[in-house]
Amino acid sequence: MPTPATPQTIPDITEDVQTGSGDGFEARVIVYNCDCHTYQQVIDLFCRFIPGMTSSKAFELAYRIDHEGEAMVFAGASEQAEEIAAKLAGGGLRVSVQ
């Protein structure tokens, strides 16, 4: 005679999903194509003013801006995004903060 199967305990799974404010990405800096800067000028500005930017990532973003018309170059706290946008605009780039 087979032994009766013991019931298995299924653990409760709780998934914590964060949405809306407080997720650390409150603002985005968008840079638009203007055909008035070289790739190297854009790369230099990105590397100088965007935290953690590498020259290879800056090139990818510059290429995207050149071919798609715009790219998000930074996402983070509103105050930091505004500061980065102001510095990039000071370098002559067309930017917006969303």
CATH number for the domain spanning 45: value is 3.30.1390.10
Backbone angles phi, psi at 32, to 5 degrees: -110, 150
Single pTM value for the model: 0.73
Is residue 16 one of the residues assigned to a domain? no
Is residue 5 one of the residues assigned to a domain? no
Q: What is the pLDDT of residues 14-73, one digit of tens each?
A: 444 333 445 556 999 999 999 899 999 999 999 999 999 999 999 999 999 999 999 999
Is residue 6 one of the residues assigned to a domain? no
User: Rounded to an integer, what distance in angstroms lies between the CA atom of residue 48 and that of residue 88?
Assistant: 9
User: Rounded to an integer, what distance in angstroms lies between the CA atom of residue 66 and that of residue 7?
Assistant: 61
Is residue 13 one of the residues assigned to a domain? no
In percent, how much of the chain has pLDDT > 70? 74
Is residue 53 one of the residues assigned to a domain? yes
The domain total for the chain is: 1
Strands (E), the chain: 27-32, 70-76, 94-97
Host domain of residue 87: 27-97
Residue labelled with tokens 């067309």:
94
Is residue 74 one of the residues assigned to a domain? yes
